């Protein structure tokens, strides 16, 4: 029995109106698909939320054709200033309906309301605002005096940040004059479908944004459709590789944002309490379902014991449970499949001899749950130090010198992000120049801003999203 | 640690090495953590519990040039019975006054259990000769003060004369006798969170029973980021020495909502052992009335108004 028990503080679900079934959003209207349907569930309770149409090849074809029509007849001819107005309007509507988006995202994805409310949805709106501003300034973006859009963009996004990844894809594409066919992940389609309603509300011309739901087959249909000029994908490295093969030899442009195994590097002169916060934020934010998660902690041997003691104490205060409770820090794992993968890799970690630790926490009976977990005594040779777990599981390694830290951090096929914790500014700059990672955070972690480019080295993909750099992928 | 305290305080250089060897504080990160804790949603039963606890933690304060015995008697009565119509309403921890008002407060409070705290050592600036500060302290203790709230010499601290500050606190503590000593760092003048951490350790090593943010006469007074650093300090000090030191934010905490944010921070940063009037106080005056109004709101379901709580 703790002294200060926080009473339940649930966010009301009343604001969202989940329909029993959803069709596809093609050419400005919701239409029935030709294919089967699938169910989307709430990962925290396993409650079925809605029946979702699964787009087949014919549906994807319709969507691509609608996008093409909208591109040639309306969107590519419209002035940048006019396109910008639509994007500003979308951004404002998202702000107005922020609570609705936050609650729906939390229900469908399993992530805490605190996070959808304070992180996901505000950054989504910020992204639309940011790229709305570029729409009439593309001639000054550094890509030539009169850069042109590519045409129809086929976009496939993951389930970890459903609405945010949608914004990262759609906002720059539209700002540059492209039209899109977007497929949300099969476990998290609801906020994309709500976004389709926002497009209607904003009077966006039909066909500029098309949302087709489905799983891998639908994604393949989009990627391999001959009418698609550009493929943008965020997700696993395996699928990314398959996409790269599928579009090889075609004229399609591709950007891929794939997995990661980021090193979060803590030096002995780090601001230790903030470093502990950064470690927690790096791996337990969004249940660790973050491609740039700081899943490998590299801590200098001289402070390893102190940092670990503080980390464990901090982890004991993490509140795991109902995603809609405003005090929940860690929500549900997104799917049974992902939970099985996290469990499997954690068992491998134990079998390989790493020491596993989790704070005591009561996990709910229903739904998919995994406690915040750290593995100590991990070496570079362990699978949990090499493979992306994509869950709330941290592998702790140690190092002795800055050089060793760099070597270990870079010793991975991935290269998406890295974190550096030290009070020494010169070391931050030196480390940042040595690390082969697309994003390097110093004395912070998991900070996202629409003005800042994001993307990876090596198997973490290619191309950049966000900022002025993010325009390049949608212009020629 | 006891031996390392004496080692660290053996010379100015040694003390400087020790204090500057404490881990740094990243201001951006500390502010972010403080803001994050501020989003905790404390409702219904948790809120009722927190409000009653907060009332029990208030050092009801009047530190004005125009204080009179009448004003102090009124305040002392309010401290004993914050809500005269509700006997279940707890009394506050203490009243906090200038030394010349201690006797009046003491007499009114009698054996109620509400303590008398006195600000001493040339409060609020601390700009007086050492014998004057000690005389100020002894005078308050002789008048019956249970607790002394001293101010450190911020000038000495900022110019790096750490040992001087240390010795000053040690001397005041000795002058306190049995009275408890709260050490005011005046964090608004120290400015950086690194300085706040160092001053906190300095005050704890010198034997302060409590570390306190502010006099209330300087802006900013208590803030959540400063509290985060000071709560980390008392937590780490106990880990290092086994000794528990209390914490008192003072100045600028006016609303129940703010008070609850502090309690959440105490709970999650220092730990629940500090959720007790022996180890945590609010230095406040107007806060109490807002706590009372919120308490009534929870009981009756309706907001009252300023006329339904007593004037101080």
Q: What is the pLDDT of residues B78-99, one digit of tens each?
A: 999 999 999 999 999 999 999 9
Q: Cβ contact (<8 Å) for B29 and A444?
A: yes
Give the residue on A whose Cα is nearest the Cα of B38: A327
ipTM exceeding cut-off 0.85 for this assembly: yes
Of A9, A269, A273, nearest to B41 by CB-CB distance is A9
* pLDDT averaged over every residue in chain B: 96
- Residue corresponding to tokens 């805490």: A112
Half-sphere exposure of A305 (CA within 13 A, CB side): 1
Q: How far is residue A107's CA from residue A345's CA, in Å, rounded to a whole number?
A: 26
User: A256 has which bridge partners?
Assistant: A233, A462
Q: Are B144 and B178 in contact (CB under 8 A)?
A: no
Contacts for B204 with CB less than 8 Å, ≥ 6 apart: B211, B233, B234, B237, B243, B245
Q: Do B275 and A8 touch (CB under 8 A)?
A: no
> Which residues in A177-194 are b (16+ Cβ under 10 Å) and which e?
bbbbbbbbbbbbbbbbbb
Which has the closest alpha carbon to A276: B197, B30, B223? B30
Distance from CA of A439 to the nearest CA of B (A): 18
The closest alpha carbon to B22, from B276, B171, B288, B236, belongs to B236
Report the C-alpha gap between A412 and A294 in whole angstroms.
Answer: 13
| The one catalytic residue among B106, B212, B258, B261 | B212
Cα B107 from chain centroid?
23
SS3 B55: helix
Residue B212 a catalytic site member? yes
SS percent in chain B: helix, strand, coil, step 5: 55, 10, 35
What integer is the mean pLDDT of A300-325? 98
Indicate the pLDDT class of residue A472, thresholds 50, 70 and 90: very high
pLDDT at B1 over 60: no
Residue showing tokens 């994908």: A233
State yes or no: cis peptide before B241, omega within 30 of 0.
no
Residues 6+ apart with CB under 8 A from A329: A112, A114, A284, A318, A319, A320
Q: Which residues of A touch B30 (CB under 8 A)?
A: 273-274
> Cα separation of A342 and A370, whole Å?
8
Tokens of A4: 């200060």
Which candidate in A2, A5, A6 is best for mutational testing of the B interface (most B CBs within 10 A)? Answer: A6
Q: What is the dihedral of CA B221, B222, B226, B231, to 10 degrees?
A: 150
| Contact (CB<8Å) B41/A317 | no
Whole-angstrom distance, CA of residue A392 vs CA of residue A126: 27
Share of chain A above pLDDT 90, in %: 99
Q: Which pLDDT belongs to residue A91?
A: 98
Contact check, Cβ <8 Å, B23/A273: yes
CB–CB of A272/B26 below 8 Å? no
Helix (H) or strand (E) holding A307: helix A301-315
Q: How far apart are CA B98 and CA B277, in angstroms?
A: 21
Q: Does B44 touch chain A (CB under 8 A)?
A: yes
What is the percent of chain A with per-residue pLDDT over 70, rounded to a whole number?
A: 100
Which whole number is the average pLDDT over A387-408? 98
Separation CA A261–CA A246 (nearest Å): 26
The CB-side HSE value for B68 (13 A sphere, CA atoms) comes to: 4
pLDDT tens readout for residues B149-199: 999 999 999 999 999 999 999 999 999 999 999 999 999 999 999 999 999
Portion of chain B with pLDDT greater than 90, in percent: 95
The pLDDT assigned to B312 comes to 75
Taking the CA atoms of A285, A286, A291 and A297 in sequence, report the sign of the dihedral they define: positive
Q: Thinking of the domain A263-442, which architecture would CATH place it in?
A: 3-Layer(aba) Sandwich (3.40)
Choose, out of A2, A5, A7, A309, the residue to mutate when testing the contact with B (most B CBs < 10 Å).
Answer: A7
Q: Do B33 and A443 count as a contact with CB atoms less than 8 A apart?
A: no
Given an 8 Å threshold on Cβ–Cβ distance, is A444 in contact with B28? yes
For residues A26 and A55, give the distance between their C-alpha atoms in angstroms, rounded to a whole number. Answer: 11
Task: For chain A, say whether B209 makes contact (Cβ under 8 Å).
Answer: no
Contact of B269 with B233, CB cutoff 8 Å: no
Residues whose CB is less than 8 angstroms from the CB of residue A263 and which lie 6 or more positions away in sequence, other chains included = A294, A296, A297, A298, A405, A408, A409, A412, A418, A419, A435, A437
| Token couple for B128 | 């007086």
Please tell me if residue B30 touches chain A, with a CB cutoff of 8 Å. Answer: yes
Confidence tier at B3 by pLDDT (50, 70, 90)? low
Instruction: Tell me whether residues B30 and A274 touch, CB distance under 8 A.
Output: yes
- Contacts of residues A355-359 at CB distance under 8 Å and 24 or more positions apart, as own/partner, are A357/A312, A358/A315, A359/A312, A359/A315, A359/A316, A359/A318
Alpha-carbon distance of A227 to A72, in angstroms, equals 13
A462-A467-A471-A473 Cα dihedral, nearest 10 degrees = 10
Q: Indicate yes or no: CB of A270 within 8 angstroms of CB of B49.
A: no
Minimum distance, in Å, between the CA of residue A442 and any CA atom of chain B: 11
Q: Give the start-to-end residue ranges of the domains of chain A.
A: 21-258+458-474, 263-442
State the first-to-last Cα distance of chain B, in angstroms, to the nearest integer. Answer: 45
Q: For chains A and B, count residue pairs whose Cβ atoms are closer than 8 Å.
A: 69
Q: What is the rounded distance in angstroms from the CA atom of residue B183 to the CA atom of residue B210?
A: 6
Q: In this structure, what DSSP letter does residue A325 have?
A: B
Q: Which two tokens stand for residue A248?
A: 């090889």
Decide which of 2.40.40.20, 3.40.30.10, 3.90.550.10, 3.40.605.10 is the CATH code for A21-258+458-474. Answer: 3.40.605.10
A43 vs A368: CA distance, rounded Å: 6
Structure tokens at A209: 């944004």
A355-357 and A373-376 beta bridge pairing: antiparallel
pLDDT at site B306: 86
Mutate to test the interface with B, among A2, A4, A113 (most CBs of B within 10 A): A4
Q: Is the pTM of this model over 0.90?
A: yes
Do β-strands A253-257 and A461-462 pair in parallel, antiparallel, or remain unpaired? antiparallel
Delimit the domains of chain B by residue range: 2-301
The residue to which tokens 């096929």 are assigned: A413
Range A248-273 average pLDDT: 96
Ranges A133-137, A217-221, B298-302: which has the least confidence: B298-302
Nearest to B61 by CA among B8, B19, B117, B3: B117
**pLDDT for res B138:** 98
Query: What is the structure's pLDDT at B5?
Result: 81
Assigned token pair, B255 = 């609303």
| Three-state DSSP string of A43-78 | CCCCCEEEEEECCCHHHHHHHHHHHHHHHHHHHCCC
Which is catalytic among the residues B149, B153, B258, B290? B149
Instruction: Tell me the average pLDDT across A329-335.
Output: 98
pLDDT confidence of B305, banded at 50, 70, 90? Answer: confident
Residue range B2-301, CATH number: 3.20.20.70
Q: Work out the number of other CB atoms within 10 angstroms of the CB of residue A230.
A: 24
Mean pLDDT for the stretch of residues A409-434: 97
**CB-based contact B36:B215 (threshold 8 Å):** no
The rounded distance, in Å, linking the Cα atoms of A400 and A378 is 15
For residue B304, what pLDDT is reported? 86
Distance from the A213 Cα atom to the nearest Cα atom in chain B, whole angstroms: 35
Q: Is residue B67 flagged as an active site residue?
A: no
Which pLDDT score, from 0 to 100, does residue B311 have? Answer: 81
Sign of the C-alpha dihedral, residues A27, A32, A38, A44?
Answer: positive
Q: Which residues contact B39 (CB under 8 A, 6 or more apart)?
A: A114, A118, A326
Q: Which residue of A has its CA nearest to B43?
A: A7
CA dihedral A281, A260, A408, A373 (to 10 degrees): 40
Shortest CB distance from A326 goes to which of B29, B41, B45?
B41
* Number of C-beta neighbours around residue A392 at 10 A: 28
Determine the distance in angstroms separating the CA of A54 from the nearest CA of chain B, rounded to an integer: 39
> Which residues 245-304 of B have a C-beta within 8 angstroms of A?
263-264, 267-268, 272, 275
Q: Which residues of A are catalytic?
A: 257
Interface probe for B, chosen from A116, A268, A273, A324 (most Cβ of B below 10 Å), is A273
Q: Where are the alpha helices (DSSP H) in B9-129?
A: 12-20, 27-37, 44-56, 69-80, 102-109
> What is the Cα gyration radius of chain A?
22
pLDDT digits (tens, 9 = 90+) for A335-349: 999 999 999 999 999
Beta A29-31 vs A24-26: how paired, if at all? Answer: antiparallel
Chain A nearest-CA residue for B193: A271
Judge contact between A285 and B236, C-beta under 8 A.
no
CB under 8 Å to A266, separation ≥6 — which residues?
A272, A275, A279, A297, A298, A299, A300, A303, A307, A421
User: CB atoms < 10 A from the CB of B269, how many?
Assistant: 24
Task: Please give the residue of chain A at the shortest CA–CA distance from B24.
Answer: A271
Q: State the smallest CA–CA distance between residue B143 and chain A in angstroms.
A: 37
pLDDT at B54: 98
* pLDDT tops 60 at residue B230: yes
3-class DSSP state for residue A38? strand
pLDDT cut 70: percent of chain B above it:
99
Residues B215-227 pLDDT 10s: 999 999 999 999 9
DSSP code of residue A330:
B
Asked if the C-beta of B21 comes within 8 angstroms of chain A's C-beta atoms, the answer is no
Residue A444 with chain B: CB contacts under 8 Å: 28-29, 32
pLDDT band at A1 (very low <50, low <70, confident <90, very high): low
Q: Is A351 exposed, middle or buried (0-12, 13-18, 19+ CB in 10 A)?
A: exposed
User: Cβ neighbours of residue A323 under 8 Å, at least 6 residues apart?
Assistant: A44, A106, A107, A109, A110, A111, A112, A113, A331, A332
Paired strand residues for B259: none
């Amino acid at each position: 029995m703790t002294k200060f028990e926080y009473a339940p503080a649930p966010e009301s679900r009343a604001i969202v109106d989940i329909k029993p079934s959803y069709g596809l959003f093609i050419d400005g209207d919701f239409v029935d698909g030709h294919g089967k349907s699938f169910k989307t569930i709430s990962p925290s309770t396993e409650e079925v939320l809605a029946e979702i149409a699964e787009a087949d090849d014919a549906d994807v074809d319709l969507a691509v054709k609608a996008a093409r029509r909208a591109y040639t007849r309306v969107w590519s001819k419209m002035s940048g200033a006019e396109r910008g107005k639509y994007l500003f309007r979308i951004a404002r509507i998202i702000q107005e309906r922020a609570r609705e988006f936050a609650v729906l995202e939390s229900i469908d994805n399993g992530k805490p309301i605190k996070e959808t409310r304070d992180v996901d949805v505000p950054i989504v709106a910020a992204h639309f605002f940011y790229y709305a501003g570029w729409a009439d300034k593309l001639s000054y973006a550094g890509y030539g005096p009169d850069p042109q859009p590519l045409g129809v963009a086929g976009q496939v996004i993951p389930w970890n940040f459903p609405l945010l990844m949608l914004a990262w894809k759609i906002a720059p594409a539209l700002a540059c004059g492209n039209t899109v066919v977007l497929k949300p992940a099969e476990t998290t389609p609801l906020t994309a479908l709500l976004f389709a309603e926002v497009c209607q509300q904003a009077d966006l011309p039909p066909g500029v944004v098309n949302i087709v739901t489905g799983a891998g087959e639908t994604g393949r249909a989009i990627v391999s459709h001959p009418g698609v000029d550009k493929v943008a994908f965020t997700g696993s490295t395996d699928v990314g590789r398959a996409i790269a093969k599928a579009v090889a030899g075609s004229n399609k442009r591709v950007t891929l944002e794939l997995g990661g195994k980021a090193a979060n590097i803590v030096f002995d002169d780090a601001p230790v309490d903030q470093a502990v916060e950064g470690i927690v934020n790096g791996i337990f934010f969004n249940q660790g379902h973050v491609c740039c998660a700081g899943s490998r902690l590299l801590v200098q041997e001289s402070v390893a014991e102190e940092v670990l003691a503080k980390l464990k104490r901090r982890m004991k205060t993490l509140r795991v449970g109902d995603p809609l409770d405003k005090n929940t820090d860690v929500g549900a794992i997104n799917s049974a499949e992902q939970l099985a993968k996290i469990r499997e890799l954690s068992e491998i970690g134990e079998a390989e001899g790493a020491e596993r630790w989790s704070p005591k926490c009561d996990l709910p009976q229903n739904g998919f749950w995994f406690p915040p977990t750290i593995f100590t005594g991990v070496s570079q040779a362990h699978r949990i130090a090499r493979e992306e777990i994509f869950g709330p599981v941290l592998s702790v390694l140690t190092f002795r010198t800055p050089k060793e830290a760099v070597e270990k951090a870079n010793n991975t096929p991935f290269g998406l992000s890295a974190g550096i914790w030290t009070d020494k500014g010169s070391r931050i700059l030196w480390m940042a120049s040595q690390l082969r990672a697309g994003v390097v955070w110093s004395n912070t972690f998991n900070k996202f801003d629409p003005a800042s480019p994001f993307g990876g080295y090596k198997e973490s993909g290619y191309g950049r999203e966000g900022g002025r750099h993010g325009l390049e992928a949608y212009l020629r | 640690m006891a031996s390392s305290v004496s080692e660290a305080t053996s010379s100015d250089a040694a003390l400087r090495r020790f204090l500057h060897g404490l881990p740094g504080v990243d201001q951006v990160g500390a502010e972010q953590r403080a803001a994050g804790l501020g989003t905790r949603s404390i409702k219904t039963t948790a809120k009722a519990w927190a409000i009653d606890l907060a009332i029990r933690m208030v050092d009801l304060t009047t530190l004005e040039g125009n204080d009179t015995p009448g004003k102090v008697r009124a305040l002392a009565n309010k401290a004993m019975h914050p809500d005269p119509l509700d006997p279940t309403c707890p009394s506050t921890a203490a009243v906090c006054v200038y030394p010349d008002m201690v006797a009046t407060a003491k007499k009114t409070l009698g054996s109620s259990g509400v303590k008398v705290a006195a600000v001493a050592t040339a409060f609020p600036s601390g700009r007086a000769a050492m014998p004057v500060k000690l005389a100020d302290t002894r005078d308050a203790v002789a008048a019956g003060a249970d607790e002394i709230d001293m101010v450190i010499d911020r000038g000495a601290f900022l110019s790096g004369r750490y040992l001087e500050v240390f010795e000053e606190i040690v001397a005041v503590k000795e002058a306190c006798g049995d009275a408890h000593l709260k050490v005011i760092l005046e964090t608004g003048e120290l400015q950086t969170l690194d300085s706040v951490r160092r001053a906190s350790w300095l005050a704890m090593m010198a034997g302060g029973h409590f570390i306190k943010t502010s006099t209330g006469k300087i802006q900013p007074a208590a803030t959540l980021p400063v509290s985060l650093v000071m709560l980390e300090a008392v937590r780490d000090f106990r880990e290092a020495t086994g000794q528990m030191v209390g914490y008192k934010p003072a100045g600028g905490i006016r609303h129940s909502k703010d008070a609850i944010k502090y309690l959440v921070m105490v709970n999650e940063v220092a730990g629940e052992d500090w959720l007790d009037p022996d180890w945590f106080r609010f230095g406040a005056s107007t806060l109490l009335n807002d706590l009372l109004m919120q308490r009534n709101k929870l009981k009756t379901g309706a907001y009252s108004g300023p006329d339904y709580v007593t004037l101080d």
